[in-house]
Amino acid sequence: MQRLFLPLINNENTVVITNSSPIYNQLTKVLRCKLSDEIIFFDWKKNLDLIYKIESITKQSIAFKLQKTVEKLDNSKININLYQSIPNKQEKIEYIIQKWVEVWYNSFCFFKSERSQNLKINENKIDRFKKIITEAVEQSGRNVLPELHFLEKIDLKSTKWQNIYFHTDKNKAKKLKELNIKEWKINIFIWPEWGFSDNEIDIFDKTWFQKVNLWDSILRTETAWIVVWFYLLENI
């Protein structure tokens, strides 16, 4: 059953989508929906999936009738935010966003660290990233639409919650299993291609960030999350 993000759903008994909406084209031309097909709609403001049946299809609109609502697992107490140093390619940003949404992250903050590449991000690219986020939420069954931010600078001394940064250096670093996670309000900082600078590491250490070494091998900036998330998943 196809699952689609539709803003401003208020558990209406009927929903009409006109041909001016991109969803109309997606349903009629891409998915080729027909009468009596069922579609799941969700609105990120609610922890519900709403199952609708197609009642009519015309060249002007599609009408749906609500069949039932399904309450989703409430993970509102889990807040995991990714602070990702801007990588050297747009394709890496797209990959990171798509895959991290599929697991569980509340927000993405891409920031320019001292060793980040000079990658220009314009409004068109940000719109594309947001579309990728929406599609990943639809596919994964999540009901939370993560926030997306791009920062030229970040004040590492003012970040709230529990802060964890990852490094290839084992000196004074913990392993994931040694982390003492008091509550699920966590900021995760991932390095750029050439790692965090000595200055950034000094700020991390002086502001009580926890340093974690993931493995003997050096992981890529866009795949380090695999190890991080599956450890956290087992400990939630």
pLDDT digits (tens, 9 = 90+) for 165-197: 887 777 788 887 777 777 778 888 988 877 888
The pLDDT, as a whole number, for residue 179 is: 77
The pLDDT, as a whole number, for residue 75 is: 66
The pLDDT, as a whole number, for residue 110 is: 92
Interatomic CA distance for residues 15 and 55, integer angstroms:
10
The pLDDT, as a whole number, for residue 168 is: 74
Residue ranges matching CATH 2.40.240.20 in the chain: 2-71
Low pLDDT (below 70) residues in the chain: 8, 74-76, 215-217, 225-226, 233, 235-236
The pLDDT, as a whole number, for residue 129 is: 93
pLDDT digits (tens, 9 = 90+) for 16-45: 999 999 899 999 999 999 999 999 998 877
**Token pair recorded at residue 234:** 């087992």
Q: At 23, phi and psi to the nearest 5?
A: -65, -35
Residue in 7, 2, 1 with CA at minimum distance from that of residue 42? 7
Residue ranges matching CATH 3.40.1280.10 in the chain: 79-235
DSSP state of 88: S
Q: What is the CATH number of domain 79-235?
A: 3.40.1280.10
The pLDDT, as a whole number, for residue 65 is: 95
CATH homologous superfamily of 2-71 equals Hypothetical PUA domain-like; domain 1 (2.40.240.20)
- Torsion over CA: 49, 51, 57, 62 (sign): negative
Q: Which helix (H) or strand (E) holds 98?
A: helix 90-103
The β-bridge partners of 231 are none
Cβ-based neighbours of 120, under 8 Å, separated by 6 or more: none
